[in-house]
Amino acid sequence: MPITQKRILTRLYFVAGFLFLFAGAVLFKLVSIQMVHGDKYRDLAMKRTEKVFTIAPNRGNLYSDDGSLLATSVSKYTIRFDAVTVNDDDFKENVKPLSNALAKLTGKTSSYYQQLLRKAQANKNRYTLLVRNLDYSDYMAVKDFPLLNKGPYKGGLIVEQKTVREHPLGKIAERSVGYERKDENGYYTRVGLEGAFGQYLRGVEGKRLKQKIAKGQWKPIGMDNIIEPKDGYDVISTIDINIQDIAHHALLKQLEHYKADHGTVIVMETKTGEVKAISNLGMTKDGKYYERLNYAIGESHEPGSTFKLMNMVATLEDKVIDTSAVIDTGKGFWKIYNHRVRDSKHGGYGQISFAKAFEVSSNTAFAQVIHEGYKENPEKYVNRLRSMHLHEELGLPIKGEGIPVLRNPGDKGWSGLSLAQMAYGYEVSMTPLQILTFYNAIANDGEMVKPRMIKEVKEWNRSVLKFEKELINPSICSKETAAKVKQLLKNVVEKKHGTGHGLYSPNFSMAGKTGTAQKNYVSKDPDKLRYISTFAGYFPAENPKYSCIVVIHEPDKSVGYYGADVSGPVFKSVAQKVYATNPLIDEVEMLNAEHRKLNDSYQKYYAEAQKKYNKVPNVKGMSGMDAISILENLGLKVEVRGNGIVKKQSISHGTEIDKVDKIVLDLS
């Protein structure tokens, strides 16, 4: 069919009509998108290019009790380079001086930076890393470097700021002060004081709208935040940095000497329960010691002989026995069923008073007293211990407190040996801070105070919240019992036969109890046997200002493992250096005379004997228990024959004690 002009025009009209309809449809769609669905698509576009970012508040500072910084937030700056914003002439003129300046700052070579910058320009890289984690002074210096001093739009300067937490004291008390760590699930948590008081320190996040300008790059929209961040409060802790430093280095020195696995030391203010120092050091694979875990709060273990104080208080309160009672420790072991309880002294102590049994830390004496005194009613014994809160956690704000173990009769693990084992600190479990809380209560005449690590929350100079002394129990025992055991704790250090006498100093007074507990004692292999060495007590002995506990795990057995040798020197070092920095000695000497004016007959007789020109007293007609107690406290070794009342003494009264070593008493 011949193609005519008419047919050509028809086709043209058809195509034109189609194009017109298509254009109309496009126009209709554009109008629909713009006018009908405009808000919807604008919102969608905004969502894809705009985003609300959270703004981290400045975390509050953590201070020691004297205002020294323990933890603070500081800004760190990362510098990047946008090569696209810099013209070629400026780049060529400044690339070398900029590289020289960066090299001087970082220690890298100038050629390294020239190559890095030239590559960024060639590839039109808008996000080249130059240097990261600068402090503020270095950041200000970098802003004045050649080329970068032209700013972000002509010099390619990109600044990223972040806030990090720093500890001015370094490794000292790092674990106790706290830090952020990542758990096995990938979540970040804060430990120590940082975590415990995070509700005050963390502040409130703000919000800011930003627009995406390139991959991974966002710029703020407008000048104002949607929600302004609120900075965290400052927290004043109870930590004394001087005592903390003393405790840390004393513990570190002893751990290194004994090649121990780990250890802890805690110093607490007696009256208030304020924790003045808490150091936790553990050995790493390289043989160095660092603050790894919070052993003071989180590690529950068998306390060993330090638990004898709890048992002494229990027996005195229940009137099971008195300190003057005589106990036959035999030749250093006591058999119960198929088990032998042994004393550390080869050959034993023979017949000694219960007071001396405490001072020399006789396992056999305590096992006999607790087993025989409570075997008919073990619930009475456990209930007495429970009344002193030995089964309870302290309820500290710091997470991870170890759970104390104190079984009831009939519980799994309870046996006929349990009373005897518990007598010298086995089959029970406590953390160092829980043990110290009890010792602090004795130093406080029976008043048990909850340990506290925070004094005040502040906003600038305004006090937001103050924390006061909190009682766990106003009286865990009678004043009479507290006075008796305080004298015994003093004797442990001051008496020549006391297990802690090696710590004695004529310049200041201390009171406390040694403890040496075995680990892995169920193993038949002696090579697997490990020890926990402890010393717990307070100072000054007469008017306690501070309580302290030192626990060292797994010292090298070839070097030593007894609590008096391993942990005791740390306690003494802390006490000695705290004395040197605190005006306590004059106060102690003044209180010494006052403290000796005790009213019980035991102390009266002792004081009277001392007044008699340091001579042997006449003990005829006394009960054997009273006579032994008086003579032993004069430093004499006593041998007893028979039972009842003293009829004869081998050394005449009036004889100078310095000339006497041993006295024999005949009783009937």
Residue found under tokens 């001392």: 610
User: Residue 606 has what pLDDT?
Assistant: 41
The sign one gets for the Cα dihedral 597, 601, 602, 604 is positive
Least confident span in 381-395, 553-567, 586-600, 622-636: 586-600
- pLDDT, position 385: 98
Quick one: residue 312, left, alpha or beta (phi over 0 = left, psi -120 to 50 = alpha)? alpha
- pLDDT confidence of 598, banded at 50, 70, 90? very low
Residue 646 makes CB contacts below 8 A (sequence gap 6+) with: 619, 620, 621, 622, 623, 624, 627, 665, 666, 667
Q: Give the pLDDT score at 593.
A: 41
The segment with the largest mean pLDDT, out of 21-25, 372-376, 615-619, is 372-376
Q: Which helix (H) or strand (E) holds 269?
A: strand 262-269
Closest CA relative to residue 666, chosen from 608, 617, 627, 609: 627
Higher per-residue pLDDT: 349 or 74: 349
Using omega within 30 degrees of 0 as the cis cutoff, is the peptide bond preceding 474 cis?
no
Q: What pLDDT does residue 130 have?
A: 95
Predicted local distance difference test score (pLDDT) of residue 296: 95
Q: What pLDDT does 43 receive?
A: 64
* pLDDT score recorded for residue 10: 78
- pTM metric for this prediction: 0.74
Q: What is the mean pLDDT of residues 70-84?
A: 88
pLDDT reading at 492 higher than 60? yes
CA dihedral sign, ordered 296, 300, 306, 309:
positive
Q: What is the pLDDT, as a whole number, of residue 633?
A: 66
Q: Name, in order, each residue with C-beta under 8 angstroms of 238's C-beta and a sequence gap of 6 or more.
A: 65, 269, 274, 275, 276, 452, 453, 454, 455
342-379 pLDDT tens trace: 999 989 999 999 999 999 999 999 999 999 999 999 99
Query: Which of 25-34, 137-146, 240-249, 259-268 is predicted least confidently?
Result: 25-34
608 falls in which pLDDT band (50, 70, 90)? Answer: very low
Give me the pLDDT at residue 160, please. 86
Closest CA to 294 of 83, 451, 84, 144: 451
Specify the pLDDT at position 580: 77
Main-chain dihedrals φ then ψ at residue 387, nearest 5 degrees: -65, -20
Q: What is the pLDDT of residue 636?
A: 80
- Reduced to 3 states (helix: H, G, I; strand: E, B; else coil), residue 35 is helix
Among 126-135, 180-189, 192-201, 261-270, the range of highest mean pLDDT? 261-270
C-alpha to C-alpha distance for 12 and 265, rounded to whole angstroms: 99
Asked if residue 433 has pLDDT above 60, the reply is yes
pLDDT per residue as tens digits for the range 129-174: 999 999 888 999 999 999 999 998 899 998 888 878 888 777 666 6
Round to whole Å and give the CA distance between 183 and 505.
Answer: 47
pLDDT at 602: 40
Looking at per-residue pLDDT, the higher value among 9 and 95 belongs to 95
Domains of the chain plus CATH, in order, are 47-68+169-235 (3.90.1310.10), 73-164 (3.30.1390.10), 245-597 (3.40.710.10), 606-667 (3.30.10.20)
Task: Kindly give, in sequence order, each residue whose CB lies less than 8 Å from that of residue 587, ignoring residues fewer than 6 positions away.
Answer: 540, 543
Q: Are 505 and 540 in contact (CB under 8 A)?
A: no
Supply φ then ψ for residue 341, to 5 degrees: -90, 130
pLDDT for 17:
79
Taking residues 238-256, what's their average pLDDT?
93
Q: How confident is the model at residue 19 (pLDDT cuts 50, 70, 90)?
A: confident
pLDDT value for 512 = 98
Q: Mean pLDDT, to the nearest integer, of 109-128?
A: 93
pLDDT number for residue 362: 97
Query: First vs last Cα of the chain: how many Å apart?
Result: 154
The strand pair at 234-237 and 62-63 is best described as parallel
The confidence score (pLDDT) of residue 194 equals 84
Spatial CA neighbour of 470 closest among 234, 174, 238: 238
